């Protein structure tokens, strides 16, 4: 009985850990996977981590990136942002359409720009929200300061092999690194900006055009 109880306990811990995620870039507010800190990724809006914990990352005003480590076989994903030093309203989104990401490991969205004018030195917080087969949401936040001179560090944006994603509500297609499916329009660049109709991803391009979400899987920069 003792052995069965121990196995059940460790399986439960493994399942719990596998459902969580990490923000690698910009630096997250704190390691919300560290249970000794009494943080919980189940807690809205930032995994239980309060304002003022951790550092602010200098982040580009245009062409920023968000790099995640995903621990679940598939994940529904939102990435939101709110302006200010102590954000209570994440009223803008880098992913205006719900995304379904398939795969575990590195996942990056590049070429992100806030859909409004911001000044150099403006503080903000990026909120990442995920949900898996449990149906419950998980939260993490990263505090940033916009800098016109900031650049995404080399190698900070990458996607794991086999990682794919599509906009929920649209059919999806996956292509090789060299070409797109014939049914897709000519969206071939991986450096265009996100918008309500398309999200450019480093190594992937998401385009909601003619009812089709086209996904181009490629390697890391």
The verdict on residue 113 lying in a domain is yes
Contacts for 89-95: CB closer than 8 Å, 24+ residues apart = 90/45, 90/125, 90/127, 92/116, 94/66, 94/126, 94/194, 94/199, 95/194, 95/199
d(CA 55, CA 98): 29
Contact 125, 28 (CB under 8 A): no
- 5 in a structural domain: no
pLDDT-based confidence at 104, cuts 50/70/90? very high
pLDDT at 132: 76
Higher pLDDT, 58 or 17: 58
The string of DSSP codes covering 136-173 is: -EEEEEEEEEEETT--PPTTSS---TT-EEEETTSEEE
CB 213 within 8 A of CB 98: no
Is 67 in a helix, a strand, or coil? strand
130 beta partners = 77, 138
Task: Answer for the pair 129, 80: CB distance below 8 angstroms, yes or no.
Answer: yes
**115: in domain:** yes
Look at residue 84 and tell me if it is in a domain: yes
Token pair, residue 90, equals: 């994440």
* Structural domain contains residue 96: yes
The domain containing residue 130 runs over which residues? 23-216
pLDDT at position 115 over 70? yes
**Count of structural domains within the chain:** 1
| Token representation of residue 76 | 């529904």
Residue 8 lies in a domain: no
Residue 134 in any domain: the answer is yes
Instruction: State pLDDT tens for residues 168-216.
Output: 876 543 322 322 222 223 333 333 334 332 344 444 434 332 222 323 2
Maximum average pLDDT range among 88-97, 144-153, 188-197 = 144-153
On average, the pLDDT of the chain sits at 74
- Classify residue 182: in a domain, yes or no: yes
- Backbone φ and ψ of 37, nearest 5°: -90, 0
């Amino acid at each position: 009985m003792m052995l069965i109880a121990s196995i059940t306990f460790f399986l439960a811990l493994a399942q719990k850990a596998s459902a969580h995620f990490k923000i690698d870039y910009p630096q997250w507010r704190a390691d919300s996977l560290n249970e000794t800190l009494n943080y919980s990724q189940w807690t809205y809006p930032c995994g239980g981590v309060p304002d003022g914990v951790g550092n602010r990352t200098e982040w580009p005003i245009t062409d920023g990136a968000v790099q995640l480590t995903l621990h679940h076989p598939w994940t529904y994903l939102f990435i939101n942002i709110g302006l200010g030093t102590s954000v209570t309203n994440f009223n803008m989104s880098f992913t205006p359409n719900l995304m379904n990401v398939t795969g575990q490991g590195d996942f990056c969205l590049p070429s992100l720009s806030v859909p409004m004018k911001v000044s150099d030195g403006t503080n903000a917080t990026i909120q990442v929200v995920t949900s898996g087969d449990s149906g419950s949401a998980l939260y993490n936040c990263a505090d940033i300061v916009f800098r016109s001179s900031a650049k995404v560090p080399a190698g900070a944006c990458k996607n794991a092999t086999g990682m794919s994603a599509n906009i929920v509500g649209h059919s999806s297609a996956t292509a090789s690194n060299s070409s797109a499916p014939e049914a897709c329009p000519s969206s071939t660049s991986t450096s265009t900006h996100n918008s309500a109709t398309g999200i450019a991803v480093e190594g992937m391009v998401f385009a909601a055009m003619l009812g089709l979400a086209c996904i181009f899987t490629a390697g890391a920069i």
